[in-house]
Chain A
Amino acid sequence: MKRKTEVSELIFRIVAYFILIIFALMCVYPLVYALSAAFSSSDAVNGGKVILWPVGIQGKAFLYVLTDNVFWINYSNTLFVTFFGTVWALGYSILGAYALSKKRLLGRHGFNFFLVFTMWFSAGIIPQYQNYMQTAQIFGSIGITDLKWTVVIAMGMNATNIILLRNSFEGVPSEIEEAARIDGATELQILTKVYIPMSKATIATVALFFGISRWNGYFWAYKVIPGEQRYSWPVQVYIRDFLNEYTTIANGGNVETMDSWNHPFATTSVLYSMVVCAVIPILAIYPFIQKYFAKGVNMGGVKE
């Protein structure tokens, strides 16, 4: 059955397409611009000639970043923090969420409240900072002087993720658990052999939530790791430091012609090259994780 398309429908659809396309282009444009500016000549970048495509192509800015040792040390720190931070957070989150998902757990509501309260109220920046400094001191006193470990262990908690896992575990039919128990499985075996395989999608989502927030983490790493220990910085702190250092007026006027910068490419090209390097891993996994995120969001924290 073919129906005559009404005028109102047509107009609505045209408007919808128009706005969506504009918005979608807006969302990718800054990244395209960053990529183009990274490979454009100093004159083109400083003269505002780069709009979409690279103008006066050069690869030296990118090469400058590729050969910047501190950048790559910090890059490896980010990889380190992302990997261990995700494993650590996922470890205690899965164990805790599994226990919380059990109706027979005494004081279940109390433990839930303990968790959820941290979503409602946070102590704030100053107490949190004091706490991290104490943690760093204790870690130092037992021989862990690298502040990366403070970042890995003490940061990146997310109660929403635990609740997501808990809800997913609650969805596993209890008959399967009973069957496993009759077969003589221990609690840990039930978790690893029954629950984890059955909640793979949620665990992947939560792992990605943890991973992305670790990869992108800036503020606390910046606060806790001082400039003297810049070899322990994650790459985000380095990028921001570069932005402050080389593209600011506070450091003496026109930095593009500053004495300290006598390279044939603009400082902003270097910055954009760093941005490109920092975004590439996310862009690389993004197509694969996109559907998980959509699923994860819809599972939501909403209950009952």
Chain B
Amino acid sequence: MFKLKCDDFLIYDEATGKYSMSPEQQVRDETERNKWKSTGFGILKDWRLYAMLIPMILVYFLWKYMPMYELIGCFKDPTTGDGLHVATNRWTGLRYFQQLFTDATYSPQFWRAFRNTFITAFYGLLFGFPMPIILALFFNEVRSNVARSIMQVCVYLPKFLSTVIVTSLVLILFRGTAAGTQSIGVVSKVFSVFGADSAMVEQGLVFTTKYYRAIYIISDLWEHAGYDSIVFFAAVIAVSPTSYEAAQIDGAGKLAQMRYVVIPSILSTVVIMLIMKIGGLLSVGYEKIFLLLGTGMLPAGSGGVAESNYEVAHVVSTFANELSANDANKAMGTAAEMLNNLIGMILVIGSNAIARKASDVSLY
């Protein structure tokens, strides 16, 4: 009357009135079972390969993923537990998030830190991104290999200095007389020649709201621009000399060559690096800001805290770090930084997805 659709794997036995598995299907099932069996054997046979993974997985689990477990601390009262294990704290729900957004003291501080994170990152991108490209284009102009190598060695160097040393140099070279020394820093002097406010020079330019960001960005450029130019330089020298020749025959001057030969050739590298930068936008280097904000070298009368500087320098990480000094505020600090890092993660994943779509190149 009606025919079963599963004819291909079932056989109807007229005599007994029962269905049984077709031989083809039995073979298929057997292969399927063997596949799983061979996979199991594969793992067993390959156990050395899997054992090699264990140390790495363990290290990442213990010191990267366990801290993520600690994040539940932002829903718990940090004063209730033993202060070491977040599991011993009592649940409080969203109280600390509420405090972060509504508290009269902490909410403005949080938004200030959040704003500063964005502004610092944005300026970093605005000035920090084109500089390495410009350096790479300029390096390409240097005909002598020896001269170029010497200059490259010089500009890569700051990347290898520690943050402590970089910030020590910044603090001392930009210090003002108010920092208890008889002379202003050498670089402060240069700034004052170019018309920096003399009262601010006295105070130490790093500690002024007006100049802090400029100094931060300049020192960042100093640290990273040379090193970051490596990637772009590799892209620039990969441009075939015949392209230049063809452009020259067509009557292109230097700028036209830049515009029509070099820039299009390195564009894909530029796009990838730009997307990478946008992805890392919110992970501003807190170590450096922490060190620049430190209590050392502060102007007189500041009571050990450069409040004026906080206005522009404090980012979410340093804000959280400061909150952690007080046990009761730990949960709020955790919540603040988690929000920041979640937005950061969305930026990374989003930018990577765009990169994948736009250029078939993705980072991960």
Q: Which residues of A contact B (CB under 8 A)?
A: 3, 6, 8-9, 11-13, 15-17, 19-21, 23-28, 30-31, 33-34, 45-48, 50-51, 91-93, 95-96, 98-100, 102, 104-106, 111-112, 114-116, 118-135, 137, 154-155, 157, 159, 162, 186-188, 191, 212, 215-219, 236-237, 239-240, 243-244, 247-250, 253-256, 268, 271, 275, 278-279, 282, 286-287, 290, 293-294, 297-298, 300-304
Query: Beyond A106-B43, A157-B64, A243-B171, is A124–B180 a contact (Cβ under 8 Å)?
Result: no
Whether B138 contacts A300 by the Cβ 8 Å rule is: no
Task: Identify the closest chain B residue to A6 (Cβ).
Answer: B253
| B interface residue count range (under 10 / 10 to 19 / 20 to 34 / 35 or more) | 35 or more
Whether A253 contacts B180 by the Cβ 8 Å rule is: yes
Stretch at the interface among B4-12, B18-26, B160-168: B160-168
CA distance A133 to B81 in the complex (A): 15
Task: Identify the closest chain A residue to B336 (Cβ).
Answer: A124
Contact of B56 among A96, A105, A275 (CB under 8 A): A96
Contacts of A26 in B (CB 8 A): 222
Query: Beyond A248-B297, A279-B165, A302-B272, is A124–B337 a contact (Cβ under 8 Å)?
Result: yes
Contact of B173 among A33, A159, A290, A297 (CB under 8 A): A33
Q: Inter-chain contact count A-B, CB under 8 Å? A: 317
CA distance A3 to B244 in the complex (A): 13
CA distance A128 to B333 in the complex (A): 12
Whether A126 contacts B324 by the Cβ 8 Å rule is: yes
Taking the closest CB of chain B, its distance from the CB of A211, in whole angstroms, is 10
| Residue B73 at the chain A interface, CB threshold 8 Å | yes
Contact of A116 among B134, B164, B337, B364 (CB under 8 A): B364
| Residue B70 at the chain A interface, CB threshold 8 Å | yes
Contacts of B338 in A (CB 8 A): 123-124
CA distance A212 to B227 in the complex (A): 14
Stretch at the interface among B104-112, B121-129, B194-202, B341-349: B341-349
CA distance A240 to B294 in the complex (A): 10
Chain A binding surface SS class: helix
Contacts of A50 in B (CB 8 A): 186
| Residue B48 at the chain A interface, CB threshold 8 Å | yes
| Residue B153 at the chain A interface, CB threshold 8 Å | yes
Top 7 closest pairs, chain A to chain B, by CB: A96-B56, A48-B183, A216-B162, A127-B70, A124-B337, A123-B67, A16-B138
Whether B179 contacts A48 by the Cβ 8 Å rule is: no
| Residue B189 at the chain A interface, CB threshold 8 Å | yes
New A-B contacts (8) at CB < 8 Å, excluding given A104-B46, A247-B296, A249-B298: A13-B254, A46-B181, A121-B68, A132-B63, A219-B287, A240-B168, A243-B297, A249-B300
Whether B161 contacts A157 by the Cβ 8 Å rule is: no
Taking the closest CB of chain B, its distance from the CB of A29, in whole angstroms, is 9
Contact of B254 among A8, A17, A99, A244 (CB under 8 A): A8
Please list 8 pairs of residues, one from A and one from B, whose beta carbons are closer than 8 Å in the complex, sorted by A's number. A23-B225, A92-B55, A96-B57, A124-B337, A125-B337, A127-B69, A239-B168, A301-B363
Task: Identify the closest chain A residue to B225 (Cβ).
Answer: A23
Query: Beyond A30-B169, A104-B46, is A297–B231 a contact (Cβ under 8 Å)?
Result: yes
